Every structure is written in structure tokens, then in C-alpha cells.
Amino acid sequence: MRHGPDITRIAALIGEPARANMLQALMGGQALSAGELAVEGGVSPATTSGHLRQMAEAGLIVPRQQGRHRYYTLAGPEIAQVLETLIGLAEAQGHRRTRPGPRDAALRRARVCYDHLAGAVGVQVFQSMTGRGFLHLSGDTVAPTDAGVVFLDGLGVDLAPLRAGRRPLCRICLDWSERRNHLAGALGAALFDRMQGQGWLRRAQGSRVVDVTSAGAAALARFFPEAGR
């Protein structure tokens, strides 16, 4: 008899192609309707209903009612982190789509991973902050330093409410396209929100792609210079 948690049910749910496509669509952090998820999964509305019910029962997604409409989101950032890790494993092992999508290059440059910044730009932000001593990284544990607190305050990111929340302040997330870490957790989400509020980053409509504006390119070079610059 085997002991400990049983991963087979969740693995089987994630491993079915239509459900995998739906879950990846939800990694954009937006709530999607059953109809929108049916399109993402490439299956009929009736089949989609069954998939959504199974994923909700397993705790992978959460239905949210808004008036007469029902939408679905990932159950939490930990689900997005598991998916990001699996995507990275598939990428590393060469299990890629037969025909890359037209926005694949843009996704690799900058994208949203649930509620934080990922891709080459997200990795640049994390590497710059650790390299300049604003984040202290020890194994899988990461935290802002005193200098980092001052730096973040200068960017307009207040750590006090983030520390008071239930969510971990900082987490590392292994980026599937860069195979290096980017910043997740409450601070990762707050930084992404701040960058959007400043007009540095802009979410592409109907996609996980994040566009870097001209002002954003200048700000990234100033506040998050790449190593060696």
C-alpha cells in the first residue's frame, strides 16, 4: 500500500489536452466563461461543462457567479506555479506544439503568469534586484533586504499591507521559457500592478502577452538594469 498524497487524479486532470488548454488560458489571471474556455479547449459546450465540473471538484479552478453569468478562475497562485513548472519541463524535454503560435516570441519576451510578470522581462527584473542586493536569495527563499525596502518605496510599492496579508510576500517561480527564476508572491503581483499603473507595461487584449511601452523600456533600463550594465 502506498502512503502519502495521491497525485494521480490531479495529474490525469491536467494531462487531458482540452483541460490543459483551458488551465493555460486561465494562467492569464482573468476569469473566463464556459463558452470562452470551450473555445480554448477546442471542445463542445457540453464536454466543457464536464471538464469544468471535474476540475472544480479537484480544487484546480473556482467558479465565480456574477449576476446571471458564471466565470472560472484558477483556484490560486499555487496552481499557476505548478502549471508553469510543467510547461517548463515540457519545454526542456522538447515537447512543443507542432506549429508555434504567432505570438510565441512575444510570450517569451513578457507575459503574465497568473498575476505577476514572467518571460525574459520578468527574469530581468528578478535578476537585477538580486544582483543589486535588493532581494536576498537563499535556496528557494527570497526576501527584500533593507536596501530593497528603500528601492521599492521609491517605486511606490508599500510593503506593509503585503506583509500583513496571508499570501507569502515573495516566492520564486521557475520561468518556463527562460529556465531561470522570476518573482512571484504578493510582491511580484504588486510590482506588476505598479508597472502597469505607471504605463510601463500593457496587457495585450485576449492574451497573456505583456507589451513593454517605450516609457517602460526606458524605466526598465533605469530601475532594473541587466547584469553587467
- Same domain assignment for residues 109 and 209: yes
In this predicted model, what pLDDT tens digit does every residue of 201-221 receive, in sequence order? 999 887 889 999 999 999 999
- Same domain assignment for residues 196 and 160: yes
Task: Find which of 21-30, 76-85, 122-131 is predicted with most confidence, using mean pLDDT.
Answer: 122-131
Q: Is 52 left (phi over 0), alpha (psi -120 to 50) or beta?
A: alpha
CA atoms of 223 and 131, how far apart (whole Å): 12
- Same domain assignment for residues 143 and 210: yes
Asked whether residue 91 is domain-assigned, the answer is no
Number of domains making up the chain: 2
What percent of the chain has a predicted confidence (pLDDT) above 70?
94
Asked whether residue 88 is domain-assigned, the answer is no
CA atoms of 207 and 220, how far apart (whole Å): 22
- Same domain assignment for residues 61 and 115: no
Tell whether pTM > 0.85: no
In this predicted model, what pLDDT tens digit does every residue of 19-54 receive, in sequence order? 999 999 999 888 999 999 999 999 999 999 999 999
- Same domain assignment for residues 112 and 215: yes
Query: Alpha helices of the chain — where are they, by DSSP H?
Result: 8-15, 17-26, 34-41, 45-57, 77-92, 104-109, 119-131, 146-155, 159-164, 185-197, 214-223
Asked whether residue 182 is domain-assigned, the answer is yes
Residue 14 lies in domain: 8-75
Among 16-20, 95-99, 123-127, 181-185, the minimum mean pLDDT is found in 95-99
pLDDT range class, residue 102, cuts 50, 70, 90: very low
Asked whether residue 48 is domain-assigned, the answer is yes
Q: What is the pLDDT of residue 227?
A: 61
pLDDT range class, residue 103, cuts 50, 70, 90: low
Asked whether residue 146 is domain-assigned, the answer is yes
- Same domain assignment for residues 12 and 108: no
Q: Which three cell numbers stand for residue 48?
A: 466543457
pLDDT greater than 70 at residue 122: yes
Asked whether residue 83 is domain-assigned, the answer is no
- Same domain assignment for residues 115 and 39: no
Asked whether residue 93 is domain-assigned, the answer is no
Q: Is 62 strand, coil or helix?
A: strand
- Same domain assignment for residues 110 and 164: yes
- Same domain assignment for residues 67 and 104: no
- Same domain assignment for residues 149 and 183: yes
Q: What is the CATH classification number for the domain harbouring 58?
A: 1.10.10.10
- Same domain assignment for residues 56 and 115: no
Asked whether residue 94 is domain-assigned, the answer is no
Closest CA to 33 of 76, 68, 72, 74: 72
pLDDT greater than 80 at residue 100: no
- Same domain assignment for residues 53 and 156: no
